[in-house]
Structure 1
Amino acid sequence: MTNPRTVDPAPADLDGDLASLRGDCARMTPRWSAPADVSARPVPLTLIHGVRVPPAYARLLDAMSDYGD
């Protein structure tokens, strides 16, 4: 199977700023599609059972200053 490229990919800018990130997102926007019908309904409380986090992930989040401090 071939993958014809229609546009060249943008070079990765790992040290970019917010303006660079916004530009990358703007270039990707035409490839995203929104659902035709969005119907937001409340979720019944009987379907919500809580969140379970594996201990390794909990330790990881606890060690991150944004979440644990």
Structure 2
Amino acid sequence: MTNLEFHSPAPADPDGDLASLRGDCARMVPHWPPGERAAAPHVSPSRIHGITVPPASARLLDAMSDYGD
């Protein structure tokens, strides 16, 4: 018996929306095997210092409602 099922390699909706993107990703899952995850080392908060944020980046984040409000 011949398998006549055909899967297009291109996205179903080239203009795309979130549902189309999620569908494309779901179809690709079998092609991406999970990699080994290494545990991130724990860093004490007292060791985190000297971090500077450029003023332009701070203004950008402040203007974003998700971060600044």
TM-score (normalizing by structure 2) = 0.51
CA drift of 1:56 comes to: 0.9
Count of aligned residue pairs for this structure pair: 61
Letter matched to residue 28 of structure 2: M
Q: CA RMSD in A?
A: 3.0
CA drift of 1:40 comes to: 4.4
Gaps of 5+ in 1: 1-6
Distance 1:47 1:67 in 2: 25
Larger radius of gyration: 2
TM-score (normalizing by structure 1) = 0.51
Tell me the equivalent position of 1:61: 61
Identity, % of aligned pairs?
56
Tell me the equivalent position of 1:8: 9
Pair 12,55 (structure 1): closer, same or farther in 2 beyond 3 Å: farther
Pair 29,49 (structure 1): closer, same or farther in 2 beyond 3 Å: farther
Gaps of 5+ in 2: 1-7
